Amino acid sequence: MLTRFVAGNGDRIRFWEDLWWGDQPLGSQYPRLFRVVLDKNIPTSSILGSSCPFSWNFNFRRNLSDPEIEDLETLMRSLDGLNLSPSVSDVRFWPLSSSGIFSVKSFFLALSQFSGSPQDFPSKFVWKSQVPFKVRSFVWLVAYKKVNSNDMLQLRRPYKALSPDICVLCMKHGESVDHLFLHCSLTTGL
């Protein structure tokens, strides 16, 4: 999960499932509490209320055990310094780009740090990230070389008169998935 939230009024942030406090979602930091909470998608503002001191409306489905109570105390202490601003909206940001706005390029650069073999492909990183589904799907297709580039089309239909020796973008090298997305002089600048 790469997108983070900066808390404003807490209306857009899912308390347990979004990354907004700490290095992982609160549901991952406190799994025992997350298992017994009724509404896992509840907004932060519904749990904490709009003013300090917070109202703490967790809505657990049963009474908590001693270890769960300890987790709840730790969670409440960690949120002690949090101040929600009722007049300010929550802001989502993408930490992989300097502007804080998601771009396919920043996502691709993060993925390119991994090895190129499918066994090393970071599938959890791709499928759990909060980027558009069509981007996740396309990244998967590229990683497994399922994109219809000229070399793939030539393999599937050798009787078609394609020229796999020429990339349609740079007109220098053969058009393959690796060339198009990693080595082509036109696409590396995007």
- pLDDT band for 186, please (50, 70, 90 cuts): confident
pLDDT for position 165: 66
Give the residue with greater pLDDT, 129 vs 43: 43
In this structure, of 56-65, 109-118, 122-131, the range with the lowest mean pLDDT score is 109-118
What pLDDT was estimated at residue 65?
94
pLDDT beyond 70 at 181? yes
Residues near 133 by Cβ (< 8 Å), separated by ≥ 6? none
For residue 108, give the nearest of 182, 28, 37 by alpha carbon: 182
pTM over 0.95: no
* Cα dihedral 41, 47, 50, 52 sign: negative
- Of 61-70, 84-93, 147-156, where does the model show the most confidence? 61-70
pLDDT of residue 122: 66
For 160, counting Cβ atoms within 10 Å of its Cβ (0-12 exposed, 13-18 middle, 19+ buried), the class is exposed
**Residue-wise over 109-137: b if at least 16 C-beta within 10 A, else e?**
ebbeeeeeeeeebbeebbeebebeeebbe
